[in-house]
Amino acid sequence: MIKITHTEDRVLEAEVEGRILHDDYVTMIPLLEQAIKEHGSLRCVIDIKSIKGYEPRAMFDDLKFDLTHIRKIERCAILCDKGWLVWVMKFSGLIMPFTKIKCFEPGQHDQARTWAAGDEGDGDTSSETEKA
């Protein structure tokens, strides 16, 4: 399940827990597209509590959204403690070369939010995938 927990300006925060479903994207994509329409771009903070599976149709929804809005997602801060997820995020950085992606430890929510909302390096469009 993906749950939007907070939105402020162009920064959207979400929690991921359990199985990720197509219905999650049916609910979430209009919110993301509205934020992009209002602000021209989007930044996000995603707190990955656990992932217990990914519905194939949800994977397609995710990929389709990412590719459709490839230049509109500026930064994505990921909170996770699973090493394999860091590698998944590195792969995502290859698919979305214009998005800066940075992984944070679960207790670093304030740092993740500050980084996602920050302005340093806004002119640089190179992919930045790293572990904080």
Tens digit of pLDDT for each residue in 19-42?
999 999 999 999 899 989 999 999
- As a whole number of angstroms, the distance between CA 126 and CA 132 comes to 18
- As a whole number of angstroms, the distance between CA 117 and CA 119 comes to 7
H runs (alpha helix) in 8-123: 22-39, 56-68, 83-95, 109-117
Quick one: pLDDT at residue 19?
93
Structural domain spans, the chain: 2-131
Task: Give tens-digit pLDDT for 104-115.
Answer: 999 999 999 999
Higher pLDDT, 113 or 54: 113
Quick one: pLDDT at residue 70?
86
* Cα 9 to chain centroid, rounded: 15
- As a whole number of angstroms, the distance between CA 3 and CA 128 comes to 25
Looking at the DSSP assignment, which residues form a beta bridge with residue 100? Answer: 75, 128
Q: 89 pLDDT band (50/70/90 cuts)?
A: low
Specify the DSSP class assigned to residue 18: S
Q: How many CA atoms lie within 13 A of 85 on its CB side?
A: 22
Q: CATH: 3.30.1330.80, 2.60.40.10, 3.30.559.10, 3.30.750.24. Which one for 2-131?
A: 3.30.750.24
Helix, coil or strand: residue 131: strand
Quick one: pLDDT at residue 132?
53
- pLDDT above 90: residue 45: yes
Quick one: pLDDT at residue 83?
67
